[in-house]
Amino acid sequence: MKRLESRSRTSNKGKLIVLSGPSGVGKTTISREILNRCNDIHYSISATSRPKRKGEKDGREYFFLSEKKFKDWINKRLFIEYAIVHGNLYGTPKKYLTDNLNKGCHVLMDVDVQGAKKLMNKYPKGIFIFITPPNLPELERRLLKRNTDNKKEINNRLTRAQAEMEYKNDYKYIIENRDLEKTVEKIISIINKEIN
């Protein structure tokens, strides 16, 4: 593992790094690769009310909360942002994110466009990157290969993907994920440029 190039001396706060893009575009895989290669980036785990998928573990992929518990966290203002996505609640726990940024740690997040818009307002100096698929048929192929959703859910995700693509120009960076290795290298290069 390598460290990112040294942070700018003008600020002792960490940088928020946000990856967005349609479901199935590869955000989770890209995030995992960045974390494997850069040991001074922390991952902000989101909370969700959706059921666990096979192989997922609470506190690793997500904090899995019941809808009641999620709404309780909303009422206690424990989220920095939250949204309804594909009929489920998703949110970013506030304490982990703010504690790490204030300690000078860089924090990587993978959020939908609704959450990213809220974070852009709260963290205008963050690094916001939109990941696009090469095309919609390729996105559909990836969703089918993932084998986590039924045909109806995949169709819903594809419909939502087209709507989400409309927001890509709100991001400073747009990266097409055609080749994982090249995509990861580009994103690490962007992060290095932004933190110096």
> pLDDT tens digits for 97-153?
999 999 999 999 998 898 899 999 999 999 999 999 988 778 878 787 777 777 788
113, 167 contact by CB (below 8 A): yes
156 or 126, greater pLDDT: 126
Selection from 166, 168, 170, 173 nearest residue 187 by Cα = 173
Q: Is the dihedral of CA 160, 68, 26, 16 positive or negative?
A: positive
21, 112 contact by CB (below 8 A): no
| Average pLDDT value for residue range 57-77 | 95
Q: Does residue 5 register a pLDDT over 60?
A: no
pLDDT, one tens digit per residue, over 35-44 is 999 988 999 9
Backbone angles phi, psi at 115, to 5 degrees: -65, -40
Could you tell me the residue ranges of all domains in the chain? 16-195
Pairwise CA distance, residues 123 & 88, whole Å: 25
Is residue 132 within a helix (H) or strand (E), and if so which, with residue range? Answer: strand 127-132
Global pTM reads 0.83
88, 1 contact by CB (below 8 A): no
| Average pLDDT value for residue range 80-102 | 92
> What pLDDT was estimated at residue 85?
83
> What pLDDT was estimated at residue 10?
44
Percent of the chain with pLDDT over 90: 62
92, 81 contact by CB (below 8 A): yes
For domain 16-195, say whether CATH 3.40.50.300 is its number.
Answer: yes
Q: Does residue 1 register a pLDDT over 70?
A: no
